[in-house]
Structure 1
Amino acid sequence: MSIAPSPNPASNQIRWLQVWSLASVQGAISLTWIAYAVYLPKFIEQVFAYPTSQAQQFAGLLLVIESAIAVIIEPLFGGLSDRWQRWYSSRMPLIVAGVIGSTALFIALPAVVVFGGSNEIVRLILPSLAVLWAIVMATFRSPVICLLASFAGATQLPLAGSVLTLVGGFVGSIRPLATSFILGLGAPATFVIASFTLLAGVAGLRSAMIYIPKNLNPALENAEPFKIRDFLNNLAIVMLVGGAIGLGMRLLMGDVLPRTLKADLTGLTGLSFEVLMGSALITQALLAVGTGNISKFIDNKRLMIFSLGGIAAGLGLLAGGYGAIASLIVILLILGFLSAVNNGMVAFALTMVPKALGGLTVGTFFGGLSGAIAIFGYLVPKSSEMLSTPNAILLTAIAFLLAGVGIALGERITRKVSFE
């Protein structure tokens, strides 16, 4: 199958206003999840009268369930947004509806805890409401993120994606650096701030979309819909890569990096683990700018394969235990490679299928990512206790190498096909 590229030269330009608006929405989504993850154990502890350790276990179980449900919800609503795009020339109604629904449910979470007290009804409502909120959140993430394809041409997608990585890294650093501050605000204030941030982000994105020409992709709107079954192999590879990257990032950021920071760098620097972890996330975000510019000169799939191999090699060096200074240098290299992977993963998904299936392929990628995290969370609920550091490093390296193999397969089957 060969699909001719768009003749419109404007399609390969980056629309920075829209990209930054999209990044603000992604940052707001991350902020709501941070607030949720910080307060969910507190809510469970208060409502169920559980000790802290048991409340954290219950919260972890809910997160696993939510990730498992996202495996279905993400591709389903991503594909549904493709239909909306084809029928109504916009995904925004679906996105706005999902954001409004999730905001209402999000604010209801602390309200139920504060006003409901501790009784059997609230104990039934709280976990149900939490899972329902996570489901609604999953309905609009893929439709939002796939808009990146409308804001940049295929060769510019990783550079545009670096803005999402930059914003996501800075927002992600809030959790290790400002958990105490978030708890000090109190649940009602935190949840209201996060909700209005999300609403404001989507409102800004909707306003920015006005400036995109309606006839930017006239051929796409007039084309016959593509048959999903023709791209099942492509979507399977996207899910494989998403799952492998998801597992690798979970292990790297949840086990390998924290253990290395605590073992080697807290003593060397005299800084707390929280400061070091937050600094690592900020560093990775800043490095995204440089790796995004590199992507202008190297094909994204090849850059990702090289970066995934670089992460695996760096992990091998960490396993060698060459000392604190060596660990610091290796961590910086790994973070640089990881930023390139983060920049390019959505671009990889979007270039595996035609634009008309952009929501489906992004949903499939995130579905694979969520599925891997859910399976790992179910099989290894206490990774810090169940996995030794060498085993954690080995599994992380295998996951990233598997992602590299998947991208190489994707490169092979799309080499002679243009979906632009």
Structure 2
Amino acid sequence: MEAISVTETEVSAVPDIRWKQLWSLAALYASIIIGWIAYANYQPKLLVQFQFTDFAFFLAVSQAIILVLTPPVAGLMGDRYRFEKGHRIPVISSGISFAAMVFMAVAFTLFTNPGEIFKWILPVLIVFWLISMSIFTSPALSTVELFTPVDRLPKAMALLTIVANLIYAIEPVIVDIIDYLGAPLTFIAGGVVTLASGYAMKKNSLGLFKQTGNKEGSAEPGQHTAAKSAYGFIFFLGVILGISTTVMFNLFPDALALKFAAISNNADGKILLVAMLVLSALISWPISNFINRYSMERVFWISGALIVLSTAIIFLAQPAWIVALMAIVFTVTFTSLSVSSLPLALSRSGYYEKVFCVGVFFSGAALPEGIFESIQAF
């Protein structure tokens, strides 16, 4: 079957967002997040169950290295397929299939309760799972530019931000379901969900591509700008988003609980984090409208500065009302950063390196979390 896709010129001329394809991408993104929640919930338990606690630091460092190095490599593969095969879908499909296979392999390993020799396959499978999830994530999320006009990319990112924040907000419920199912069934369910969402995205994406009858790499020379990609700036965008995310998820719960303990002994940092995530989901769409009317780069710099300021005040200030106000400021600016950073990265990407640059962006985003978790494991 001929591999066919959408040219950049066509996509830019699309009058509106391709909602069917974008919702498929959002569903795949949701399955990725749920997969990470399941991994974070069961990895420590499995290390204890199989007496691998001594490998916690090794796995944390391996995870950091994999999540930093794999996205750009996957991006190179995605760009190669764009111009040799007509679209980047094969890389996404291969990664999804590999991830689903590893999910099932982990489930089978847990079901069979392996003995002393075969239990050593578990840490190997965990590393393979990390690699497989990284292989398709950045190429998959890079397809947002195929389904959305350039000037409406913040709206598309707003949808993905809403999905991500709502899933993280109900993480305790997801964890309860995971604990109820048990590790083997959880990994089976993860494999099925990942495979199903990946298939839906592939089907809807190829359906769109067949309607256009063009290939991604079919542009005439000179039809697209020859401007070089701003690798350093794109990596920096990811790092700033990664630092903000790491601070919000790992440092704020304890810090906010401590600050609000003066007015309530029952202050729960996790509940406060959920409130911030829900607020972020609620304001993502209005903020995308605001960003569409202003410069994405200006919004990014202002958001970054306000995040630094609000974070410093949250940790240094004592009055609870000031901390609460700064938590709201942080949430608003974190949302604007989440909505604007990837579209801005895409705008600084050369036409021939779109997927690679998205990989560079996610490499930067993964670095702060990787450093933090490695320090914690040590």
Aligned counterpart, 2:376: 381
Letter in 1 for 2:99: S
Letter in 1 for 2:319: G
The 1-side partners of 2:303 and 2:213 are apart by 33
Structure 1 position 93 matched with structure 2 position 90: yes
Question: Identical aligned pairs, as a percentage?
Answer: 24
Aligned counterpart, 1:345: 341
Aligned counterpart, 1:369: 365
Superposition map of 1:174-213 within 5 A? 174-209=170-205, 210-212=207-209
TM-score, normalised by the number of residues in structure 2: 0.88
The 2-side partners of 1:21 and 1:376 are apart by 32
Structure 1 position 222 matched with structure 2 position 219: yes
Superposition map of 1:285-296 within 5 A? 285-296=281-292
Structure 1 position 40 matched with structure 2 position 43: yes
Superposition map of 1:104-119 within 5 A? 104-119=101-116
Q: Which one of the candidate residues 233, 253, 256 is aligned to 1:261?
A: 256
Contact 2:82 2:217 survives alignment (8 Å): no
The 2-side partners of 1:8 and 1:244 are apart by 28
The 1-side partners of 2:129 and 2:318 are apart by 45
1:322 deviates by 4.0
Structure 1 position 75 matched with structure 2 position 72: yes
Structure 1 position 137 matched with structure 2 position 133: yes
Structure 1 position 307 matched with structure 2 position 308: no
The 2-side partners of 1:150 and 1:244 are apart by 25
Structure 1 position 11 matched with structure 2 position 14: yes
- Number of aligned residue pairs: 368
Structure 1 position 356 matched with structure 2 position 359: no
Superimposed CA distance per residue, residues 345-368 of structure 1 (whole angstroms, 9 cap, x where no aligned partner): 211221112333111000011112
Superimposed CA distance per residue, residues 325-355 of structure 1 (whole angstroms, 9 cap, x where no aligned partner): 3322221221111011111221122111233
Contact 1:176 1:277 survives alignment (8 Å): no
Letter in 2 for 1:141: T
What secondary structure does 1:222 align onto? coil
Q: Which one of the candidate residues 147, 160, 163 is aligned to 1:167?
A: 163
Contact 2:255 2:315 survives alignment (8 Å): no
TM-score, normalised by the number of residues in structure 1: 0.79
1:83 deviates by 1.4
The 1-side partners of 2:260 and 2:176 are apart by 22
Aligned counterpart, 1:28: 31
The 1-side partners of 2:350 and 2:149 are apart by 13
Superimposed CA distance per residue, residues 366-417 of structure 1 (whole angstroms, 9 cap, x where no aligned partner): 1122233333444x3269xxxxxxxxxxxxxxxxxxxxxxxxxxxxxxxxxx
The 2-side partners of 1:377 and 1:182 are apart by 22
Contact 1:12 1:155 survives alignment (8 Å): no
The 2-side partners of 1:347 and 1:245 are apart by 13
1:318 deviates by 1.6
Q: 1:261 to 1:316 in 2, by over 3 A?
A: closer
Structure 1 position 328 matched with structure 2 position 324: yes
